[in-house]
């Protein structure tokens, strides 16, 4: 792995503002914790995505793909290799394009916030994305894990997803080819998934007032029931079949349960929060406590929904 050579090559094709050596991952995840990445790169075009991936491959440097960091836990030792941050600089949303079937297509680049896409739909009086109004992720992340809320999922509206593979090849997948399921897709099943560079959704005309009212309602519910003012990764655990993770955790008396700077939210037990400047080790230990106690009391195994990446601190630094 040759980080120095990769960084030098990146500087020939990217601006200084797009390259951050030793990037503290606490700045790039909603949990606000995690150690540094060797180098972080923020591409602004699909060509730059491909170039960065190819440079990393040629230098033998592993690549971690990140969007808004809203469903990610980075361990305290940080991330070795290059982090490719698909975010604000790669976030355009198209104007609506009518189809023969009466629906309208919107295409968003992978780094666009899901809230930006849902607002663009509302501005055009297009319905179908109201559920996404408050999901704190990017289009790429939403396509990757089939994000959803309040009865809606990306699989309901996506028509195609464009992906740049690690070898620089561009693929366009249909809804069927994406094989969406609960918090999974074709990409989650791949050992080294590529970068979602764009996603197209098909929506129907609606009443803007009704669309906005639904978005306000969903956002109000989030504010009332979720600890949105505290650093978290959203729902920490997947929904077990036949149960709700938050309900199980609550029934086990775990609201407020704490390990170091991390605790189970007293507002919604499905959210584990970093409310006292905790470490990734705190958060992982809290997750383990919750999983153990819930299993002991209910026999249900909770599986993480949060994506855990990076490496632990060396023992001599703990």
Residue 134's pLDDT is 87
H helix runs in 14-109, sequence order: 46-58
Coil vs helix vs strand at 175: helix
For the cut 70, the answer to whether the pLDDT of residue 136 exceeds it is yes
Does the active-site annotation cover 263? Answer: no
Residue 317's pLDDT is 61
Residue 315's pLDDT is 64
Does the active-site annotation cover 16? Answer: no
DSSP-assigned letter for residue 312: P
Q: Which of 183, 185, 222, 239 is catalytic?
A: 183
Q: Give burial (CB, 10 Å; 0-12/13-18/19+) of 198.
A: buried
Tokens of 20: 């951050």
Q: Give the separation between CA 37 and CA 40, rounded to whole angstroms.
A: 7
Does the active-site annotation cover 70? Answer: no
**How many C-beta atoms surround the C-beta of residue 243 within 10 A?**
14
Q: What are the pLDDT digits (tens) for 49-91? A: 999 999 999 999 999 999 999 999 999 999 999 999 999 999 9
Q: Which of 26, 232, 235, 265 is catalytic?
A: 235
Contact 88, 140 (CB under 8 A): no
Q: What are the pLDDT digits (tens) for 153-176? A: 999 999 999 999 999 999 999 999
Of 78-82, 100-104, 264-268, the range with the lowest mean pLDDT is 100-104
Q: Give the separation between CA 190 and CA 297, rounded to whole angstroms.
A: 34
Q: Give the separation between CA 197 and CA 160, rounded to whole angstroms.
A: 11
Return mean pLDDT, the chain: 96
Average pLDDT on 103-126 reads 97
For the cut 60, the answer to whether the pLDDT of residue 298 exceeds it is yes
Q: Which of 70, 103, 185, 305 is catalytic?
A: 305
Coil vs helix vs strand at 180: coil
Coil vs helix vs strand at 289: helix
Q: How confident is the model at residue 316 (pLDDT cuts 50, 70, 90)?
A: low
Instruction: Quote the pTM value.
Output: 0.93
Phi, psi of 50 (to 5 degrees): -60, -45
Q: How confident is the model at residue 318 (pLDDT cuts 50, 70, 90)?
A: low
In percent, the amount of the chain with pLDDT more than 90 equals 95
Q: What are the pLDDT digits (tens) for 227-258? A: 999 999 999 999 999 999 999 999 999 999 99
Q: Give the separation between CA 201 and CA 159, rounded to whole angstroms.
A: 5
Q: Give the separation between CA 41 and CA 34, rounded to whole angstroms.
A: 17
């Amino acid at each position: 792995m040759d980080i120095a050579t990769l960084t030098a090559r990146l500087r020939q094709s990217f601006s200084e503002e797009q390259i951050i050596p030793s990037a503290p991952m606490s700045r790039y995840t909603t949990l606000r914790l995690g150690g540094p990445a060797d180098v972080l790169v923020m591409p602004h075009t699909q060509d730059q995505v491909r170039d960065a991936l190819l440079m990393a491959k040629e230098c033998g440097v592993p690549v971690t793909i990140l969007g808004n960091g809203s469903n990610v836990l980075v361990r305290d030792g940080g991330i070795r290799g290059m982090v490719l941050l698909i975010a604000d600089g790669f976030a355009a949303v198209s104007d609506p394009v009518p189809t023969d079937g009466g629906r309208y297509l919107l295409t968003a680049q992978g780094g666009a916030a899901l809230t930006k896409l849902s607002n663009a739909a509302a501005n055009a009086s297009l319905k179908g994305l109201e559920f996404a109004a408050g999901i704190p992720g990017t289009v790429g992340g939403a396509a990757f894990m089939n994000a959803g809320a309040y009865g809606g999922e990306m699989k309901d509206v996506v028509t195609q997803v464009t992906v740049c593979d690690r070898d620089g090849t561009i693929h366009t997948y249909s809804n069927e080819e994406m094989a969406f399921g609960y918090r999974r897709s074709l990409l989650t099943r791949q050992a080294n998934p590529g970068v979602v560079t764009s996603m197209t959704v098909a929506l129907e005309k609606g009443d803007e007032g009704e669309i906005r009212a639904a978005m306000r309602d969903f956002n109000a519910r989030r504010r009332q029931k979720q600890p949105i003012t505290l650093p978290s990764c959203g729902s920490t655990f997947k929904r077990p079949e036949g149960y709700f993770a938050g309900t199980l955790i609550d029934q086990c008396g775990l609201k407020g349960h704490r390990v170091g700077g991390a605790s189970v939210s007293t507002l919604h037990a499905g959210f584990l929060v970093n409310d006292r400047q905790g470490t990734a080790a705190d958060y992982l230990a809290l997750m383990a406590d919750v999983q153990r106690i819930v299993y002991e009391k209910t026999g249900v195994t909770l599986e993480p929904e949060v994506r855990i990446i990076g490496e632990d601190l060396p023992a001599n630094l703990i």
